[in-house]
């Protein structure tokens, strides 16, 4: 099937970007999730001087929630998440939170020590979900 507009044939493609979201013919979200995570890391990197500074955690959290999280979650209302894609988003978010808290993976910290340091990853995650309208209540 060919589509012509003003005598010009429009080609068929397997994927394209529409309103900043990657659309594919097979409707898999892995590429879109990876793209969103990479874009969030890019945004996080541009604000690295804030997250590595000695600013209070409450200010870092506000910057993260307002500048990084929306980049990662843009278009999430249309996603159908499975366990693999949910895990990918969680891993990315946790890595960013560890970076803000100054904890490396080599520290092998458990969640108790993260909670004791600042607000903790679980609370950051819950606040982000509430701000994105994803609360369980």
**Which is more confident, 3 or 25?**
3
Q: What is the pLDDT of residue 114?
A: 52
Please state the pTM of the whole predicted model. 0.66
b/e 72-86 (16+ beta carbons within 10 angstroms → b) = bbeebeebeeeeebe
Q: What is the dihedral of CA 32, 37, 43, 44, to 10 degrees?
A: 170
Q: What is the pLDDT of residue 77?
A: 79
User: What pLDDT band is residue 120 in, cutting at 50, 70 and 90?
Assistant: very low
Stretch 102-106: mean pLDDT: 79
pLDDT at 92 exceeding the cut of 80: yes
* Cα angle for residues 58, 95, 106 (degrees, 5° grid): 110
Stretch 67-85: mean pLDDT: 86
Q: What is the pLDDT of residue 116?
A: 53
d(CA 115, CA 13): 47
Tell me the backbone φ, ψ of residue 121, rounded to 5 degrees.
-65, -40
DSSP letter at 12?
P
In angstroms, the Cα distances linking 75 to 52, 56, 108, 119 are 28, 30, 33, 27
pLDDT at 85 exceeding the cut of 50: yes
């Amino acid at each position: 099937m060919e589509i012509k507009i003003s005598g010009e044939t429009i080609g068929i493609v397997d994927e394209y970007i529409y309103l900043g979201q990657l659309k594919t013919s097979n409707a898999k979200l892995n590429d879109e999730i990876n793209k969103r995570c990479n874009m969030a890391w890019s945004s996080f990197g541009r604000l690295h001087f804030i997250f590595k500074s000695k600013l209070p955690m409450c200010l870092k959290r506000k910057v993260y929630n307002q500048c990084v999280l929306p980049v990662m979650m843009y278009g999430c209302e249309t996603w159908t998440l499975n366990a693999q894609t949910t895990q990918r988003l969680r891993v990315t978010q946790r890595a960013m939170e560890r970076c803000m808290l100054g904890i490396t993976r080599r520290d092998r910290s458990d969640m108790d020590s993260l909670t004791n340091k600042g607000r903790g990853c679980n609370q950051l995650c819950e606040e982000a979900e509430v701000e994105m309208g994803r609360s369980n209540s």
